[in-house]
């Protein structure tokens, strides 16, 4: 792989990605046939997941406050959007299905059906960091937390033995599982979204993740806490982080984030936050966030970048 800046003044840098920059690059690779990828940037990529709170688009069934103006003003060529298709799988997949042909430039034509929460978060990051931002939106309304965790995690938490044992006894074969239980391929079943919509992204070098989910686990908080904790720590470790945390700001307990004045107005800030729970707010009302530590300070004093949903 050859990676070179597109400007003649810059020296080439083979097989090495540049630091975050608004300078475009191209990649040429050859596996028997030469392929050239243009208009590439180096910056921060964030995974945005959850259920309907994260799924609600800027325009459409949710419609954020002043959505017409928000859509019209969404011209950010250095913000790129990727939407993972809603798909299910009984075993971890190597590739993820995506909508709209893959990555898109953030514009009025592309942002309307993208996650409102992810977009406002990414926009704030871009304004504060002034580096290219990539947003990977992988969410599905009405899904419980157990749908977004691995087989190993669901088995370790417990409570899903009947379903998980069936997967295992059928050797995770779709046809065999459906022959035994025709209703097994359902979006609220354990591990299915993780296998198809999260696991394939593991090779993507991301800076962090934001997660907004919980309504479908209401009434089962005892099980939800270890599920959410293991999901965040496993995801963080998989992408290079060594710990995870929840933001200290609570969010409204509603399945329609358009009722939240902060979400509707796009008020979402990126700042520094201590690793802690807000003990006065149930876990399912709070999104968790993790990120790699900053590298400007010694390891023992590193702070963690957190996404806080309201100003402090």
Question: For residue range 63-82, what is the model confidence (pLDDT) as tens digits?
Answer: 888 999 999 999 999 999 99
0.85 cut: is pTM over it? Answer: no
Closest CA to 202 of 117, 294, 84: 84
* More confident call, 241 vs 82: 82
pLDDT tens digits, one per residue of 3-19: 334 444 443 444 456 78
Q: In whole angstroms, give the CA distance from residue 241 to residue 182.
A: 39
Closest CA to 153 of 227, 89, 239, 242: 227
Closest CA to 233 of 309, 149, 137, 302: 149
Average the pLDDT over each of 65-74, 194-203, 248-257 and give the range with the smallest value: 248-257
Nearest-Å Rg of the Cα atoms of the chain is: 20
Which residue spans within 110-204 are E strands per DSSP?
Answer: 133-139
- What is the DSSP secondary-structure string of 191-230? THHIIIIIGGGTTS--SEEEEE--GGGTT-HHHHHHHHHH
Q: Which pLDDT score is estimated for 257?
A: 33
Tell me the C-alpha to C-alpha distance, in Å, between residue 185 and each of 103, 149, 176, 243, 308: 28, 16, 12, 33, 35
Q: Which pLDDT score is estimated for 156?
A: 93
Q: Which pLDDT score is estimated for 17?
A: 62
pLDDT tens digits, one per residue of 99-145: 999 999 999 999 999 999 999 999 999 999 999 999 999 999 999 99
Average the pLDDT over each of 132-141, 223-232, 258-267 and give the range with the smallest value: 258-267
Mean pLDDT of 27-38: 90
Q: Which pLDDT score is estimated for 239?
A: 58
Q: Which pLDDT score is estimated for 219?
A: 85
**Residue 246 confidence (pLDDT) above 90:** no
Q: Which pLDDT score is estimated for 203?
A: 84
Parallel, antiparallel or unpaired: strands 76-83 and 133-139: parallel
User: Please, are residues 135 and 111 in contact by the beta-carbon 8 Å criterion?
Assistant: no
Mean pLDDT of 177-192: 97
Q: Which pLDDT score is estimated for 273?
A: 26
Q: In whole angstroms, give the CA distance from residue 126 to residue 75.
A: 12
Closest CA to 206 of 173, 184, 237: 237
Mean pLDDT of 243-261: 34
User: 116-131: b or e for each residue (b if 16 or more CB lie within 10 Å)?
Assistant: bbbbbbbbbbbeeeeb
Q: What is the DSSP letter of 109?
A: H
Per-residue pLDDT band at 249 (split at 50, 70, 90): very low
pLDDT tens digits, one per residue of 285-306: 344 444 443 333 232 222 233 3
Tell me the C-alpha to C-alpha distance, in Å, between residue 197 and each of 123, 150, 256: 23, 11, 23
């Amino acid at each position: 792989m050859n990676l070179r800046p597109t400007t003649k003044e810059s020296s080439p840098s083979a097989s090495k990605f540049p630091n975050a920059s608004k300078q475009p690059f191209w990649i040429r690779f050859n596996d028997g046939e030469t392929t050239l990828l243009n208009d590439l940037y180096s910056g921060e990529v964030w995974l945005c997941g959850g259920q309907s709170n994260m799924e609600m688009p800027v325009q459409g069934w949710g419609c954020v406050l002043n959505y017409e103006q928000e859509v019209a003003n969404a011209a950010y060529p250095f913000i790129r959007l990727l939407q993972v298709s809603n798909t299910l799988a009984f075993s971890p997949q190597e590739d993820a299905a995506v909508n709209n042909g893959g990555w898109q430039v953030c514009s009025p034509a592309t942002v309307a059906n993208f996650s409102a929460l992810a977009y406002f978060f990414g926009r704030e990051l871009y304004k504060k960091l002034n580096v290219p931002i990539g947003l990977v939106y992988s969410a599905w309304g009405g899904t419980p937390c157990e749908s977004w965790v691995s087989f190993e995690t669901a088995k370790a938490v417990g409570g899903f033995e009947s379903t998980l044992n069936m997967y295992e006894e059928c050797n995770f074969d779709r046809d065999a599982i459906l022959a035994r239980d025709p209703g097994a391929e359902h979006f609220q079943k354990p591990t299915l979204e993780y296998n198809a919509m999260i696991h394939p992204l593991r090779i993507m070098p991301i800076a962090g993740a934001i997660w907004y989910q919980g309504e479908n686990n209401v009434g089962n908080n005892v099980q939800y806490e270890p599920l959410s904790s293991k999901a965040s720590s496993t995801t963080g470790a998989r992408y290079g982080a060594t710990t995870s945390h929840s933001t200290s700001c609570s969010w409204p307990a509603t399945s329609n984030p358009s009722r939240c004045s902060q979400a509707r107005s796009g008020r979402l800030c990126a700042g520094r936050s201590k690793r802690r729970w807000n003990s006065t707010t149930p876990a399912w009302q709070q999104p968790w966030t993790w990120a790699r530590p900053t590298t400007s300070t010694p390891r023992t004093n590193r702070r963690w970048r957190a996404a806080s949903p309201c100003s402090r």
